[in-house]
Structure 1
Amino acid sequence: MTDRADELTLVAIVEFAVGAEAAGQRYEDAVLALLERHGGRLEQRLHGTDGQTEVHVIRFAGRAGYESFLADPDRAALRAALGDAAPTTRVIEVHEV
């Protein structure tokens, strides 16, 4: 059992490239599916009303899981395949108040 104090909660703000929204969403589908192998889970996925943005709330059992997710070669390959059409993402570490 994981100590909740070790958990890492992130909010990812994902901006899709103009004209590549569908490709960006497919990329996010594939990348989010990799979370579990690193002790992560998607808590919430929200689509912006602008059609250009998604917001993800993601929780990892610990920082090491997040770091291994970032280094995942499958994730890197998916991103490389998308090239300039890859979304940009801002990640914010958060905690409950």
Structure 2
Amino acid sequence: MPEPGDPAGEVLLVAVVEMVPGQAAAGHRYEDQVLALLGRHGGSIERRMRGTDSPTEVHVIRFGSRAGLESFLADPDRLALREQAGDAAPTTRVIEVRDR
């Protein structure tokens, strides 16, 4: 099994996505579009959940390699979607995790 941080190993992430107040619908649309790009980088969404009392989303995302994550972050389509979303773009906290 690869060590944590091994560029050849899988990367497991948890993302806490905070929608902009009053812009939840636009934020969810943005997330739909961005998450659709994961596959081209060897990534997949394992879980996508919404808060019960807020428009916050929590995602569990897996990449086959760190290179896949890095290519996703640099994807010009993802960057263009972020720019198009403007002030409606959510704020995301990403935590790299591992199974116990």
TM-score normalised according to structure 1 size: 0.93
Residues 1:33 and 2:36 are matched in the alignment: yes
Task: Find the aligned partners of 1:51 and 1:36 in 2 and give their Cα distance.
Answer: 28
1:77 aligns with 2:80: yes
Q: Once the two structures are superposed, what CA deviation does each residue of 1:32-77 show, in whole Å capped at 9, x if it has no partner?
A: 0000000000000000112320000000001000000000010011
Q: Which has the larger displacement, 48-57 or 12-21?
A: 48-57
In the alignment of these two chains, the number of paired residues is 94
Q: Which stretches of structure 1, 4 residues or longer, exceed 6 Å deviation after superposition?
A: none
| 8 Å Cα contact 1:21/1:51 also seen in 2 | no
Q: Identify the match of residue 22 of structure 1 among 17, 20, 25.
A: 25
Q: Give the aligned partner of residue 5 of structure 2.
A: none
Q: Which runs of 5+ in 1 are unaligned?
A: none
2:89 aligned with 1:86, yes or no? yes
Q: Distance in 2 between matches of 1:48 and 1:78?
A: 24
- Indicate if the aligned counterparts of 1:24 and 1:85 stay in contact, CA closer than 8 A: yes
1:11 alignment partner, one of 9, 14, 19: 14
- Give the whole-Å Cα distance in 2 for the aligned partners of 1:51 and 1:57: 18
After TM superposition, the score normalised by the length of structure 2 is 0.91
Partner amino acid for 2:66?
R
> Taking every aligned residue pair, what percent have the same amino acid on both sides?
67
Query: Which residue does the alignment assign to 1:95?
Result: 98
Higher helix content, 1 or 2:
1
RMSD: 1.0
Looking at structure 1, the residues matched to 85 and 42 of structure 2 have their Cα atoms a distance apart, in angstroms, of 25
